[in-house]
Amino acid sequence: MRTVDWDGGAVTMIDQRALPWELRYVRLETVAAVAESIRNMTVRGAPAIGAAAGFGMALAAQESQATTVNALVADLRAKAALLKAARPTAVNLAWAVERLLRIAESGEFHTVADLRDVLLGAARQIADDDVAINSRIGAIGAKLLPEGATVLHHCNTGALATVDYGTALGVVRAAHEQGKHFHVLLDETRPRLQGSRLSAWELERLGVSYDIIPDTAAGYYMGSGEVDIILVGADRIAANGDFANKIGTYQLAILAQAHGIPFYTAAPTSTVDLNLSSGEQIPIEQRDAAEVTTPYGNAIVPAHFKARNPAFDVTPHRYLSGIITEHGIARPPFTASLRRAVAGEAL
């Protein structure tokens, strides 16, 4: 199951807004439609957004009317800005767009057709690499899960958040495929309920034991001794190990430290932004307050009630036990281990 793919001149993706009630695919034939799909969370999850943006750039090359390479590059620069503006926090989006833009600007292409072909190949490579990288993350992280453990997980970091397999839930999937027996507590993850709608749907399909819990019950289960390890994803990781993830992650990290519970994030090295020295520099997306007051079109308070809706928070690196990457588990000091991981060194 590929969350994002290319099919006959268009980007195809699972419409995650319809889950868990319906598995529905959409076909996007313009760059504007791809950007909107990222903005409205038809596709979400940092690696999946990156793959969608890569295919969006390939689509930009296909839909351009340019007859010269220089004109095509100019069109691609404009569409790159459109795609990068769709959501500001997940670094994978900008990473994928810039990767394809660098290819276009390399000066190595003499025909528009050649450049279009190479960009599509590069977008496909991003998607294929994501599957392979996440499989490695899963295999590395699975070693952290003892037999009979209870895992606490926030948001959705499975196949739906990536092209396939997953990051933090990829660790769960890998351990399950190895025959380990364990249980997963899924934070419902308000206000968009990615935990109860998406993570539960994925674990149901995999046959992994789980319970959905209110976000506010996480401390209760930690305090009662029912949580052995906490696994979350990341949308951007600063050079010092501070990381942005779905809102509610920060409080889990503090609770984990108070109860002596190992706390890990899992992410590909494409999520690491070495240009940012700390999490204070990570831009935090502020989403529509209606997601809080009228979730999925269902009003829970009067229309004039005020609300705020940050999509992410930043967890300081001091709360992390480690960062599970495709090159191994980065440990403190993260300024050194993350640079090694990004360079492709085994940890």
Pairing mode, if any, of strands 328-330 and 322-325?
A: antiparallel
Query: What's the CA gap between 218 and 294, in Å, rounded?
Result: 24
211 carries an active-site annotation: no
Within 13 Å and on the Cβ side, how many CA atoms surround 139?
A: 8
* Rounded (10°) CA dihedral 288, 291, 293, 294: 120
Q: Nearest-CA neighbor of 244 among 233, 258, 255?
A: 233
Instruction: Check: CB of residue 129 under 8 Å from CB of residue 326.
Output: no
Q: Which residues pair with 236 in a beta bridge?
A: 244
Contact (Cβ atoms closer than 8 angstroms) between residue 148 and residue 181: yes
3-state secondary structure (DSSP) of residue 321: coil
Distance CA 203, CA 186 (A): 10
Nearest to 62 by CA among 7, 107, 110, 99: 7
Q: Which of 235, 242, 273, 313 is catalytic?
A: 235
Cβ density class 326-336: b for 16+ within 10 Å, e for less: bbbbbeeebee
Q: Which of 88, 178, 142 is nearest to 266 (CA)?
A: 142
> Do 152 and 187 form a contact (C-beta atoms < 8 A)?
yes
Which residues does the annotation mark as catalytic? 235
